[in-house]
């Protein structure tokens, strides 16, 4: 899988493609607002602040974050 953080309307958006499925989610960690980074080895979105991890679809894998990431579609302005 591959992932990158893009900028949409001034907000960070996490875009990844894993097994041919492309997804977009908010790139802002639900714990303290850190901007996520793609982890190539685990195909996950990882927060550099406190090590929260999220699946490509934004599902929380481990915390301290307690909530999933907000999913986005290509038509979403944020």
pTM above threshold 0.95: no
- As a whole number of angstroms, the distance between CA 68 and CA 73 comes to 16
pLDDT (tens digit per residue) in 28-50: 999 999 999 999 999 999 999 99
**Does the structure show a pLDDT above 60 at 75?**
no
What is the pLDDT at residue 41? Answer: 96
- As a whole number of angstroms, the distance between CA 8 and CA 5 comes to 10
Can you list the domains of the chain with their CATH numbers? 2-70 (2.102.10.10)
Per-residue pLDDT band for 74 (boundaries 50, 70, 90) equals: low
């Amino acid at each position: 899988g591959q992932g990158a953080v893009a900028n949409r309307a001034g907000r960070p958006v996490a875009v990844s493609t894993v097994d041919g499925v492309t997804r977009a989610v908010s790139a802002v960690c639900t714990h303290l607002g850190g901007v996520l980074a793609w982890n190539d080895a685990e195909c996950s979105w990882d927060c550099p602040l406190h090590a929260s991890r999220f699946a490509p679809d934004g599902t929380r894998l481990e915390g301290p974050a307690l909530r999933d990431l907000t999913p986005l579609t290509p038509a979403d302005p944020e």
